[in-house]
Amino acid sequence: MGRIPDLPCDIEQVVDLLGIEVIRDTGTQLHCRCPFCADRKAHMNVKIRNNVFRCNRCGKGGGILHLYAEYCDVNLHTAYEELCKIFGPDGGEPVRKCKRKPRSIETVELPIASAEVRDNTYSNLLSLLTLCPTHQSALKERGLKSEEMELLCYRTTPTTRLKRIVTELLERGCILDGVPGFYCQKDSGQWVLDIRGSGIMLPDRNLLGQIEAIQVRLDKVYNQKFYNLTSVDQYYGTQSKCCPHYVGVHEGDEVVCLTEGVMKSDLAYSFAQGSPYECGFVGLTGIPSYSQYERALEELDSIGVKRINVMVDSDYQVKEEVRKARDRYIEMGAAAGFEMAPITWTQKWKGVDDLYKHLFRNK
């Protein structure tokens, strides 16, 4: 398992050291009770290979040093020194030890399938589904027209006929191996569609228009509005991997707009079509999402884009984490040679989709 250079321990050892309770161990990930919030389940996910953690409940995350520093209430420098002292060749006895049972790997995670395979399987999956009246009404309230919903291929997560849907996909020749959201039952060998929450399915499309992932906008929101279709931790399952979402972006375009979210990008582009502000959008599936942004910068450069209008939510003016991400996006884009144009509007409209609906769709 990988280790950070010059750090004589990995994140699994630090989890043991701190006595963080592990609820489930898949061999590649630890699902733990988060020690930083009132977590009664196992919202903290620790990726052993990458030496990183994140709590899906409170949002805390980072690497080995961040975990130790946050838990012990010390800075990163002190965390580094203490871990080196504990785990180094002359290290002393850790203050706290927690022995866990030896790991038994019960799942086999498949490598993610190619973009072409995922696009074919997801396209066929969406063709078998519909958008329920409740979701149609909700999207109309957001400003979308029926024909726009169909064009975007928005669908309602299925709650019945799951076996029949999987059978139909296989009969069509679709590959399910390595496609996030599908896994194989260990005892029967049957493929299963893993739906982890009801809501609206949103295709996450790359620059070529291929569906690389599917986001689900949840009907019932607890700490997050979206989750990505995944089958991680299932037998022959696969972890989701989103891409920068492109809508209305074409080779030769000199200007694009940058925002957060698949739906936000889709709505804003739909509202602006036919107006003087019509412009393609790139949506990052989360704030911050620097690795996606790096990919987007390379792809935008390859098609000749010169300027990026940064249109993250207006709450960057009051939320420090959003402001930092916005500033970093501007810095990275400028370093890559783009003209960066930060766009600001009143907090009366949080997202660019809300702003554009007010400007174009409501008039």
Long-range Cβ contact pairs of 26-29 (< 8 A, separation 24 or more): 26/105, 26/106, 26/107, 26/109, 26/233, 27/103, 27/104, 27/105, 27/106, 27/107, 28/109, 29/232, 29/233
Q: How far apart are CA 229 and CA 194, in angstroms?
A: 8
State how far the Cα of 168 lies from the Cα of 157, in Å rounded to an integer.
Answer: 16
**Is the pLDDT assigned to residue 226 strictly greater than 90?**
no
Model confidence at 322: pLDDT above 90? no
> What CA–CA distance (Å, rounded) separates 46 from 27?
11
Q: Which of residues 42 and 304 earns the better pLDDT score? A: 304
CB of 183 closer than 8 Å to CB of 196: no
Beta pairing class for 199-205 and 22-25 = unpaired
Please check the confidence at residue 285 and state whether its pLDDT lies above 80.
yes
Q: Does residue 211 have a pLDDT over 90?
A: yes
User: What is the model's pLDDT at position 95?
Assistant: 42
pLDDT of residue 362: 67
Q: Which region, left, alpha or beta, applies to residue 304 given φ > 0 means left and ψ of -120 to 50 means alpha?
A: left
Question: By C-alpha distance, which of 236, 284, 231, 225 is closest to 257?
Answer: 284
The CA dihedral of 332, 333, 335, 341, to the nearest 10 degrees, is -120
What number is the average pLDDT over the span 37-62? 86
Q: Is the pLDDT of residue 320 over 90?
A: no
Q: Give 336's contacts (C-beta < 8 A, 6+ positions apart).
A: 297, 301
Average pLDDT of the residues in 263-273: 94
Is a pLDDT exceeding 90 seen at residue 196?
no
The residue-averaged pLDDT of 163-168 equals: 95
List Cβ neighbours of 245 (8 Å cut-off, separation of 6 or more): 204, 205, 261, 262, 265, 281, 282, 283, 284, 285
Least confident of 22-26, 221-225, 228-232, 316-320: 221-225
Q: State the amino acid at position 179 in one-letter form.
A: V
**Structure tokens belonging to residue 171:** 């009969």
Instruction: Supply the Cα-derived Rg of the chain in whole angstroms.
Output: 22
More confident of the two residues 357 and 203: 203
Question: How far apart, in whole angstroms, are the C-alpha atoms of residue 60 and residue 248?
Answer: 34
Residue 356 has pLDDT above 70, yes or no: yes
DSSP string, 21-41: PEEEE-SSEEEE--TTTT-SS
The pLDDT value recorded for residue 234 is: 87
Cβ neighbours around 269 below 10 Å, total: 25
pLDDT digits (tens, 9 = 90+) for 97-110: 444 444 444 557 88
With contact defined as beta carbons under 8 Å apart, do 174 and 113 qualify?
no
Is the confidence at residue 24, as pLDDT, over 90?
A: no
